[in-house]
Structures are given as C-alpha cells and as structure tokens.
A and B are shown apart, each in its own frame.
Chain A
Amino acid sequence: MASILRVNTLTDASSNNSTAMSIIHGGITRTWASFDGTASGATIGDSFNVSSSDDDGTGDYGINFSSNFNNATYCSTFGDGEGNATSGMRFLMDAGSTTSSQEIYGRNVSNSAADCGAASISIHGDLA
C-alpha cells in the first residue's frame, strides 16, 4: 500500500549525516537525458521527466518535459559525448528555456551548427 511520510529531517541510524528534507528536495535533479543528436529526431537513450525530443535541424534540438517547471529560470548543464580531439564537436548550449521545454544548440570548433552524437543534459529547478 502506498504511504506518505511527513518529516523535516532525515538522519542515519547513528544520528550522523543529517539532511533536511528541504536540501534533499532542492538538490534533486528534475530532468536528465542522454540523446543522439546525429539521429533523426534526436533519439533519447534514457531520460527522466522527458516526454519527447525534437530535431529542428543541424545542431538544433529540443526536449519537452513530462512535468513542467514553475518558471523558466532553471539551471541546465550539458555534456558533449563526442570525446575525441578530431571530431570537431565543441559544446552544447542553452538555446531557449520555457517551463515546458529546453531548446539546445550544438556548435563545432568554428562555432558553426553541428550535430552531437552523444549529448547529455541535466536540469535543476522548481517544478510547477
């Protein structure tokens, strides 16, 4: 049977490592995903709180959230998985945030739009 526990602080049984629920609550990542930016549709490998992804062209992606954020001022961090020095892929960046989606640009060493083969994103913020 499902149950709800209402508590302010979690502490281990030895009374160490005390953590307020507000810290746990604030620190949980609300969204994460890995996707293939070279594939049609920016195919999601695995994710949390992502309903779909979209491919808007070379180096131009978007992920849509299952549960929306309370505002668009959340924190997005990215990872570029093309890790050899000759791929030319340089970085992923925020291309626009809304409460329901995050747009993403990929850029190469010439700062031109480029697809990223193994892209990652994680987002912290407040859900609606």
Chain B
Amino acid sequence: MASQLKVDTLTGVTTAGSIDVTGEGNSTTTNLQQGLAKTWIRFNQTGTPAIAGSFNIASIVDGGTGDTTLTITNDYANVNYSISASNDDTAVTNQVVAGDVAVGSYRQRSLNGSNALVDAPICYTSTFGDLA
C-alpha cells in the first residue's frame, strides 16, 4: 500500500544527524545525510554575474574575469568538502576550477585553452561534505 509521511524534519534515532536509506539491491544501506548535496549552483560569469538557480548559496562575488567567489548560507564543518565543477564548454572556456576553499565560501575560476582567465557563460557546481 502506498504511504505518505508528512514531516518537517527527519532526525536519526541513534545519531540525530545519521539516517540510512536502503539501497537498490534491497539490502545495502547508504547514508542520507552524507549523500545529500549540501550546495549546488548554476550561474553566469559573463555580463553581470547572477545566480540562475542554487541551493544553500547566499551570494556570489565577481572577482574579475573568470573569477567568482561563492558564499555558503549554512557553513561546512571543515574545508575538506568535495567540489565538482563544470561549465558549458564553449569555444572560449575549457575548464572550470575551484580553489581557495573556506568553510563558508569557495572560489571558482574559468580558464581557456591558453590557461588564461575567461568568463564562462554558464558555470555549474555541486558540493558534498559535512555541514557545521
């Protein structure tokens, strides 16, 4: 029978911040909190930089050509979180890189084939780790 649970917050019983979800094979479990993306964002560096869509991102700061700092609404517990970044890969932009990682922000840069900073029309980033 289909069921629906109405709740605002899920909290683990043994550990408040740890809830397991049963995997596809119906036996192995994976952790809900660890598996959730803690931030994601789509934004542009060309023109006036702006956020098209995001989660847990407070703002972006234009640091110049191909250089954007993203500030996080709810900070991470440490700086060892995982950052995956990409862009729309037009002819002018080969790769987006991220650096200068802090618990409340990180920096995303776009480079062209000559290793020079260049504005990317669309940047994508998602991050995973432990929130404070």
Binding site for B on A (CB under 8 A): 1-3, 5-13, 15, 18, 21, 24-25, 28-30, 32-34, 45-49, 67, 70, 77-86, 88-91, 109, 118, 120-122, 126-128
Contacts and interface: CB of A to CB of B under 8 A. Distances in A.
Contact of A80 (B3, B8, B37, B97): B97
Nearest to A36: B80
B77 to A, nearest CB: 9
Interface string B25-39: 100101110111100
A32 B7 contact: no
B5 A79 contact: no
B37 A29 contact: yes
A125 B53 CA distance: 24
A34 B80 contact: yes
B31 A86 contact: no
A77 B86 contact: yes
Given A34-B80, A46-B80, A81-B101, 5 more contacts: A5-B5, A9-B4, A30-B30, A120-B84, A121-B82
Nearest to B77: A46
Contacts of B99: 81-84, 118
Contacts of A82: 97, 99
A48 B36 CA distance: 11
Contacts of A89: 97
A86 B35 CA distance: 34
Interface residues of B, number: 53
A86 B10 CA distance: 45
Given A8-B3, A118-B101, A2 B30 contact: no
A45 B13 CA distance: 28
A79 B128 contact: no
A32 B128 contact: yes
Contact of B35 (A13, A28, A80): A28
B68 to A, nearest CB: 11
Contacts of A29: 34-37, 128
Contact of A45 (B32, B66, B80, B98): B80
A48 to B, nearest CB: 4
Contact of B82 (A15, A34, A126): A34
A90 B99 CA distance: 13
Contacts of B115: 85-86, 88, 90, 109
Nearest to B10: A10
